[in-house]
Amino acid sequence: MTAKSGILDRLSLELTLFESLAVSTIMFTVLQLLWQVVFVLWHIYCVCANIRTDEWINWKKYPWFQLVIPPQTDVKDFLALRT
C-alpha cells in the first residue's frame, strides 16, 4: 500500500491561487530586472561615448521644452531693470 499525495492527485496543468501568484511574481521580477539591466547599460554607453540628449533628439521640434532666458551681464543692469 502506497500513500498518495494530494499534489499527485490533481492535474499537473492546474495551478492553485498561491502557485499562480508565485509564478506571476517571479515572471514580473525577471522582466523588471531585464528591463533595468538594459536601461543601465544604455546609460553607461551614453556616458562612455559622451552622448548628450541634443545629439539624438531634435529639440527644435519641441519648442515647449525650451526656456530661453536672456543673459545678464551685470548686477547693476539687473537692479536698474527692477526699479
Residue 64 has pLDDT above 80, yes or no: no
**Per-residue confidence at 62, pLDDT binned at 50, 70, 90?**
confident
**Mean pLDDT value of segment 11-18:** 72
Given this model, what pLDDT does residue 50 score? 79
* Residue 41: inside a domain: yes
Given this model, what pLDDT does residue 8 score? 53
Instruction: Report the distance separating Cα 29 and Cα 32, nearest Å.
Output: 5
**Per-residue confidence at 55, pLDDT binned at 50, 70, 90?**
low
* Residue 1: inside a domain: no
Domain count, the chain: 1
* Residue 43: inside a domain: yes
Residue 3 has pLDDT above 80, yes or no: no
Given this model, what pLDDT does residue 78 score? 66
Phi-psi region of 35 (alpha: psi -120 to 50; beta: other; left: phi over 0): alpha
* Residue 20: inside a domain: yes
Given this model, what pLDDT does residue 36 score? 97
Instruction: Report the distance separating Cα 48 and Cα 12, nearest Å.
Output: 50
Please enumerate in sequence order all residues whose Cβ is within 8 A of that of 72, keeping only pairs 6 or more positions apart, or say none.
78
Write the single-letter amino acid at 56.
Answer: W
